[in-house]
A = this chain, B = another copy of it.
Amino acid sequence: MKQSQLFTKTRREAPKDEVSKNAQLLIRAGYIHKEMAGVYDFLPLGLRVLNKIVGIIREEMNAIGGQEVHMTALQDKGKWEATDRWSDKVNDIWFKTKLKNDTELGLGFTHEEPLTSIMKDHIRSYKDLPKAVYQFQTKFRNEARAKSGILRGREFLMKDLYSFSIDEKSHNIYYAKAKDAYMKIFNRLGIGDQTFVTFATGGSFSKYSHEFQTLCEAGEDLIYIDEKKKMAVNKEVLNDEVLNDLGLSRAELVEKKAIEVGNIFSLGTKFSGALGLNYRDESGKDIAVNMGCYGIGPSRVMGTIAEVWSDDKGLVWPESVAPFKVHLVAIFGKDTASGGAGKVRQAADELYASLTAKGVEVLYDDRDCSAGEKFGDSDLIGIPWRYVISEKTLATDSIEVKDRKTGTVEMKKLK
């Protein structure tokens, strides 16, 4: 894409009310726009990053047999009363609204209830199981405080997968597969090294649930990590019994701040029981389906990457999620500054065309502005590879290639 065509502009200062690093950088670089606290629009560069994150998660969910659907935000209260999650006293993060006839509706903050109900139309026999169903869908959570940029949204994108198995044993097999898929995802997203499988409270159907926690000073969670074993426990389950259980020693644990980028949870028959999702076994008996849920917030992941992969100059995207792979920065000489067909512009146009033809995603800074402004914007936007083309580089028939992450610079022949 030609940067002269991109409608967003960078800005020097972040909005004064924005205290989180992720939002400050993403707003300054033109990736997102704030509607209100915890509610952000995704602009072209931001949507490209979000879609790459979504694409990676989708591939891994398909690889473990997930079937994609799209459920609604508007929620009918009956289903949520059946599981005792409708009342604001039980769940204080509902956004609620009303139909014209005063029927109360909620805006979904998760989707166990509607999906369990849908599956009642489709699961009859043990032969119909196991199944896994997922979606990428906008969730609404009426958070009292939302000061962490896109790390904690009142409206945000969520990937939620739900599994349906005949029993706990079969569920555990899927759960283990999903756990592996999650680590694969965080590795591909470039935050695998910082992300710890973290043991947390399991609820009534399982001893533990698992969180995926990315070490980061901006995190709201405190976890206790064993670096050698690459394991962690959440504060809520830090006790001798659990440590013993997991083979961890308190002396080896280090307290760290972290961002929860994913979580997986055994639900047992909590929802299937309440909503009547049964299957018929081989002997003809009706049995409640065993369920699990598996969440990742792509927008929160994007905020986490922005926190972890950035420096004082701007964002430093991992290649797998960067909006473009190459930032082609043309420094026009005097002959081309006014938009003329000078030597640099011609060479840059050709390079842009040939890279694009090869399928390389390029943001081409063809704007008529100073080299300083272009380099500043390029550092801020944070595309992995910067190709600089100028009268100077053309003198040796070369371009300068700079690695945004390491700062390494080398000259590369054009032909």
A100 and B142 contact, CB distance less than 8 A: yes
Smallest CB separation, A126 vs chain B (Å): 14
B44 and A69 contact, CB distance less than 8 A: yes
**Does A107 count as interface, using CB distance less than 8 angstroms?**
yes
**Does A241 count as interface, using CB distance less than 8 angstroms?**
no
Known A69-B41, A73-B138; contact A114-B35, beta-carbon cutoff 8 A: yes
**Does A409 count as interface, using CB distance less than 8 angstroms?**
no
B72 and A39 contact, CB distance less than 8 A: yes
Smallest CB separation, A36 vs chain B (Å): 5
Bound form: Cα–Cα A69–B45 in Å: 9
Bound form: Cα–Cα A123–B9 in Å: 9
Q: Which of A8, A40, A76, A131 gathers the greatest number of chain B CB atoms within 10 Å?
A: A8
**Does A169 count as interface, using CB distance less than 8 angstroms?**
no
Bound form: Cα–Cα A33–B122 in Å: 11
Q: Which residue of B lies closest to A33 (CB)?
A: B118
Please tell me which one of the listed residues B67, B97, B119 contacts residue A6 in the complex, with CB atoms under 8 A apart. B67
For chain A, the bracket of interface size reads: 35 or more
For chain A residues 291-347, which have a beta carbon within 8 Å of chain B? none
**Does A43 count as interface, using CB distance less than 8 angstroms?**
yes
Smallest CB separation, A73 vs chain B (Å): 6
Measured between beta carbons, the chain B residues less than 8 angstroms from A107 are 97, 107
**Does A208 count as interface, using CB distance less than 8 angstroms?**
no
Please tell me which one of the listed residues B41, B47, B70 contacts residue A41 in the complex, with CB atoms under 8 A apart. B70
B97 and A70 contact, CB distance less than 8 A: no
Q: Which residue of B lies closest to A133 (CB)?
A: B7
The interface bits of chain A over 52-76 (1 if a CB of B lies within 8 angstroms of the residue's CB, else 0) are 0000000000000101111111111
B95 and A70 contact, CB distance less than 8 A: no
Smallest CB separation, A136 vs chain B (Å): 10
Smallest CB separation, A334 vs chain B (Å): 20
Q: Which 5 A-B pairs have the closest CB atoms?
A: A42-B70, A95-B97, A41-B71, A7-B131, A97-B97
Known: A43-B118, A95-B98. 19 other contacts (CB 8 A): A8-B121, A8-B122, A33-B118, A35-B75, A35-B114, A36-B105, A39-B72, A39-B74, A40-B72, A41-B70, A41-B118, A44-B69, A72-B155, A73-B73, A73-B140, A73-B155, A74-B95, A95-B105, A97-B97
Binding site for B on A (CB under 8 A): 5-9, 11, 30, 33, 35-36, 39-44, 47, 50, 65, 67-76, 95-100, 105, 107, 114, 118-119, 121-124, 128, 131, 133, 138, 140, 142, 144, 154-155
